[in-house]
Amino acid sequence: MAVTLAAPPRLGHVEAASAEVSPGAALAAALHRPVCVLGLGLIGGSLLRAATDAGRDAWGASASSTTVEKARADGYDVADSVADAIARAAARDALVVVAVPMTALDDVLAVVAREAPQCRLTDVTSVKEPVAEAVARRAPATRFVGGHPMTGTEFSGWDAGSLQLFQEKVWVVATDDDIDLDVWVDVVALALACGSTVVPAASDEHDLAVARISHLPHLLAAVLASVGADGGELALALAAGSFTDGTRVAATRPELTAAMCEGNRTALLAGLDDALGRLGAARGSLASTGGLLSTLTAGHGARTDLDEARRHRREVRIDLAGAPADFLDAMRELGRTGGRIIGWTGDALDAVEAALEEE
Amino acid sequence: MAVTLAAPPRLGHVEAASAEVSPGAALAAALHRPVCVLGLGLIGGSLLRAATDAGRDAWGASASSTTVEKARADGYDVADSVADAIARAAARDALVVVAVPMTALDDVLAVVAREAPQCRLTDVTSVKEPVAEAVARRAPATRFVGGHPMTGTEFSGWDAGSLQLFQEKVWVVATDDDIDLDVWVDVVALALACGSTVVPAASDEHDLAVARISHLPHLLAAVLASVGADGGELALALAAGSFTDGTRVAATRPELTAAMCEGNRTALLAGLDDALGRLGAARGSLASTGGLLSTLTAGHGARTDLDEARRHRREVRIDLAGAPADFLDAMRELGRTGGRIIGWTGDALDAVEAALEEE
């Protein structure tokens, strides 16, 4: 199910502003919000490229001087330091995007808390609850709405980035009850501007889901690669599509995968135990009666359902009038049932245009 | 390591012929050997297309009248029955290729034994020892040399086939001590003509290897697909590259995968236990100290080694003078150390040309 989004109910009431603004003006601000990207690896570097290309005032920062040089040489706006980038974000009311690995998160949040304690903040990290907890601990006054673009490659660093990385991908936007709806709209607008569609999800539901469809696949890929290598050079010489595809993400830097998986330990253990149970049952059946058909038929059905769901996507338009709590509920239910946001309604964009003409 | 192949030592001595023929004439015969394909699914259908395209006199047969009609409509030569196709192969001294699933193997071999009891026979099935045993039981007088093109897709049937399916793929040719070397050359020549390179391997070593790099990946893909589906529609909506690639082959018809895996039970159990051991260790580590780095680093190393091996392939030319036993030993050692046959030496092809001019 795909939906276009009208301006959500509370949009137009900006907490920090002294007066109410029109919904059109508020959405216009979200659509043109400056973007500050902290960390310029595969995801952050791609985001700086995509946001710049989408016409945003966008700048980045990296702790690595080599990365800073490369990004500048490619024509992008990179601040002299992380602190400078954040200070600029505070001055321009930008959306700050944390794009560093989990291991560097606390340090970056400390600088955010110092330079822009109340800024609009999101992230592009894999797990959502641990990041939200770190933000609550380190930068509690920021207006944080987590995000997770479901994209990537097995490569890392600025050079691996691409303008296209978010095109036609899914970008999860955390839709918890305590969020700032204006920043939620900022994050949705950025995701759509980069070419993604948006799946709204509660942080805990997101973490359970990605354990199964992202973290477990990375772990299985690593194990499969090792089992293949145990078969020696003949086995590797015979490796074709099933092995190559099944081990592709094992080429990701293991430190990044480890940080991602370990940061979602409880959810991953549940998914892993599900996998171990199914594999154990298959092993028992293969060793005794020899039958793998029930395991394989279940997997076949699951995979065909996925393909079907991807082919048959209905587009509907949801009426979002109502209280903010209803809106967040409706958004989570949309995500839970496989739906996604694909753009703004014509009405919302008309209001933006009217607001811009009034200026 | 890639090698070009001179005419192997015994080539030129054709058992069935009344007199010795020149090595050039024998290789010429192999390079122009008619091909009879039994079964026109994904692999057999692709083989009929590729062999025809390579200029071979090639015909096929299928038990399905729908398939026969489709293949004929696409312009291919299809016999009226499996028995007719095999009788024609006997008359033309063709290489018969069995391209039916394991479950239909015994029935087809019975017809082969009746219509062409001493024919040149190969197969394109996944496991080599069980097929060799079935041939020894059902069609013991045939000159059988097993084969296994390491290619395929998750689709099946004539419509899924393609002329290109074998291009730049690896084709294993069984290189056991008791084989007929002339037929071994026929199979190698067919694989090369279809655009593949050849890895020579003993049947048992092949079966151990494919359990790890083909059968286990299929089983893991099925389990992963089920674990993902257990996460509900939200999880499937978030599924990106790692899940899509990791479950791709779960879309294969489960009956085909089951027949393939169950036919290689002992070897698959060994590979599966290796995987279960590694996954169990990872689970224990994640649940206690939380560390997945050793599992992920091992997998990363194995996967990078695979990529390296694919990039850095040296081409050498092996001197194959010597007794047939030495030749087979040298071929198996080539495969065991990651080498493959990529073509014929210039000398061998010169001899073919000279022989053809003499005719």
Burial status of residue B66 (CB atoms within 10 A of its CB: 0-12, 13-18, 19 or more): exposed
The answer to whether A3 and A317 have CB atoms below 8 angstroms apart is yes
Sequential DSSP letters for B113-171: HHH-TT-EEEE--S-SHHHHHHHHHH-TTSEE--EEEE---S--SGGG--TTTTTT-EE
What value does the mean pLDDT take over residues B99-106?
A: 92
The answer to whether A102 and A46 have CB atoms below 8 angstroms apart is no
pLDDT in tens, A222-259: 999 999 999 999 999 899 889 999 999 999 999 989 98
CB contact under 8 A, B246 and A217: yes
Residue type, A140: P
User: Hey, is B239 helix, strand or coil?
Assistant: coil
- Of B152 and B176, the structure prediction assigns the larger pLDDT to B176
Q: Which residues of A touch B267 (CB under 8 A)?
A: none
pLDDT at A344: 85
User: Nearest residue of A to residue B261 by CA position?
Assistant: A292
**Interface probe, candidates B212, B310, B341, chain A, greatest A C-beta count within 10 A:** B212
State the nearest Cα–Cα gap between A247 and chain B, in angstroms. 7
- Structure tokens given for B90: 């006997």
Going from the C-alpha of B337 to that of each of A235, B136, B201, B330, B331, the distances in angstroms are: 10, 29, 10, 11, 10
ipTM of predicted complex:
0.86
pLDDT band at B330 (very low <50, low <70, confident <90, very high): confident
pLDDT at A17: 36
User: Nearest residue of B to residue A151 by CA position?
Assistant: B240
User: Hey, is B199 helix, strand or coil?
Assistant: strand
The answer to whether B15 and B182 have CB atoms below 8 angstroms apart is yes
CA distance between the termini of chain B: 36
Q: Which residues of A touch B221 (CB under 8 A)?
A: 242, 246, 299, 303
Residue type, B315: E
- Closest CB to B233: pick one of A219, A239, A336: A336
State the nearest Cα–Cα gap between A353 and chain B, in angstroms. 33
pLDDT at A21: 63
Q: Which residues of A touch B300 (CB under 8 A)?
A: 222, 225, 250-254
- Closest CB to B295: pick one of A213, A223, A245: A223
Look at chain A and count its residues.
Answer: 359
- Closest CB to A238: pick one of B210, B255, B293: B210
Pairing of strands B58-61, B147-150: unpaired
Q: Which residues of A touch B168 (CB under 8 A)?
A: none
CB contact under 8 A, A208 and B218: no
DSSP-derived letter for residue A205 is H
- The span from the CA of B144 to the CA of B148, in Å, is 13
- Closest CB to A236: pick one of B229, B262, B306: B306
**Interface probe, candidates B170, B172, B220, chain A, greatest A C-beta count within 10 A:** B220
State the nearest Cα–Cα gap between B258 and chain A, in angstroms. 6
Q: How many CB pairs under 8 A join A and B?
A: 377
The answer to whether A36 and A81 have CB atoms below 8 angstroms apart is no
CB contact under 8 A, B273 and A283: yes
pLDDT in tens, A299-341: 999 999 888 877 766 666 665 555 677 888 888 998 998 888 8
- Closest CB to A261: pick one of B240, B251, B292: B292
- Closest CB to A290: pick one of B247, B249, B265: B265
CB contact under 8 A, A250 and B299: yes
- Closest CB to B275: pick one of A223, A278, A291: A223
pLDDT at B25: 83
Going from the C-alpha of A43 to that of each of A183, A313, B38, B108, the distances in angstroms are: 20, 27, 50, 55
Name residues whose C-beta falls within 8 Å of residue A266's C-beta, 6 or more positions apart in sequence. none
- Structure tokens given for B2: 């890639």
pLDDT in tens, B116-171: 999 999 999 889 999 999 999 999 999 999 999 999 887 889 999 999 999 999 99
pLDDT in tens, B103-112: 899 999 999 9
User: Nearest residue of B to residue A304 by CA position?
Assistant: B251
Residues of chain A whose pLDDT is less than 70? 1-3, 6-21, 312-323, 359
Phi and psi torsions of B143, nearest 5° = -95, 90
